[in-house]
Amino acid sequence: DSGVTQTPKHLITATGQRVTLRCSPRSGDLSVYWYQQSLDQGLQFLIQYYNGEERAKGNILERFSAQQFPDLHSELNLSSLELGDSALYFCASSVQGQTKETQYFGPGTRLLVL
Amino acid sequence: GESVGLHLPTLSVQEGDNSIINCAYSNSASDYFIWYKQESGKGPQFIIDIRSNMDKRQGQRVTVLLNKTVKHLSLQIAATQPGDSAVYFCAGRMDYGGSQGNLIFGKGTKLSVKP
């Protein structure tokens, strides 16, 4: 158990809908990262937050957004969902969000868009 | 562009044998590398990391080798056990000298351990 929690574990929704994925980092970690894992693209970095502020952006679509709250939990919002958004979404956390810190991954949210 | 890739999608080894999983990277600015293990239904789990100023780093039953000349790294697992069965990812990170640094993951190698 990494100490990172994610909810829900599974999510099934329809195209065009909007969903929110939630992540709680390990106790003491200030930085949160979001990743998307699909069969054809592998594990892709989406976005990073540090202490409530966006720090780095990866391959995140404009339909997706995220935020980190004062209690350090983070939410990833996916809107206007398409079939291709079906994937595993992982959250990871690290202490300070520095380049060479270990990132600890949560168990993921499996999203299925029908 | 930047990429991190694995040579083989699957690897099957006999229990007790040593396993070697290879990874190549394209960007010489990627000077920090990590190996993750992902078991079915779980998130990636950190195994070992290595910085570009090192050629080799050892952990418990695992060794990572880095060859910067040919931009190649490998993960060696000694005395492979059934519990080692998983998908192994290498990831490289650009060193921006500050707090930024996205992980670029390879596609993964599925390791199967035969009893």
> Quick one: closest CA in A to B99, which residue?
A98
Q: Cβ separation of B43 and A106 shorter than 8 Å?
A: yes
User: Residue B98's pLDDT band (boundaries 50, 70, 90)?
Assistant: very low
Which amino acid appears at position B11 of this protein?
A: L
> Quick one: closest CA in B to A50, which residue?
B99
Q: What is the pLDDT of residue B7?
A: 53
User: Residue B99's pLDDT band (boundaries 50, 70, 90)?
Assistant: very low
Task: Assign A84 to helix, strand or coil.
Answer: helix
User: Does position B50 have pLDDT exceeding 50, yes or no?
Assistant: yes
Nearest partner of B107 among B20, B4, B36, judged by Cα:
B4
What phi and psi, each to the nearest 5 degrees, are found at residue A97?
A: 75, 20
Q: A interface toward B at CB cutoff 8 Å? A: 2, 4, 33, 42-45, 48, 50, 55-56, 58, 90, 92, 96-100, 102-108
User: Residue B2's pLDDT band (boundaries 50, 70, 90)?
Assistant: very low
**Which of 85-104 (B) contact A at CB < 8 A?**
89, 91, 93, 95-104
For the segment B52-63, what is each residue's pLDDT rounded down to a tens digit?
Answer: 899 999 999 999
> Quick one: closest CA in A to B48, which residue?
A102
For the segment A67-98, what is each residue's pLDDT rounded down to a tens digit?
Answer: 999 999 999 999 999 999 999 999 999 998 87
User: Residue A59's pLDDT band (boundaries 50, 70, 90)?
Assistant: confident
User: Residue B100's pLDDT band (boundaries 50, 70, 90)?
Assistant: low
Task: Assign A27 to helix, strand or coil.
Answer: coil
Q: What is the pLDDT of residue B25?
A: 85
Check if the beta carbon of residue A54 is closer than 8 Å to that of residue A75: no
What is the average pLDDT across A7-28? Answer: 97
Per-residue DSSP letter, A69? -
Paired residues of A6 in beta bridges: A23
Residue whose token pair is 């990866």: A58
User: Does position B29 have pLDDT exceeding 80, yes or no?
Assistant: no
Q: Find the CB nearest B105 among A43, A99, A106.
A: A43
Quote the tokens at residue A96. 């300070």
Query: Average model confidence (pLDDT) for chain A?
Result: 94
Residues present in chain A in total: 114
Q: Cβ separation of B100 and A106 shorter than 8 Å?
A: no
State what percent of residues in chain A have pLDDT above 90. 82
- Exposed / middle / buried, residue A18 (Cβ in 10 Å: 0-12, 13-18, 19+): exposed
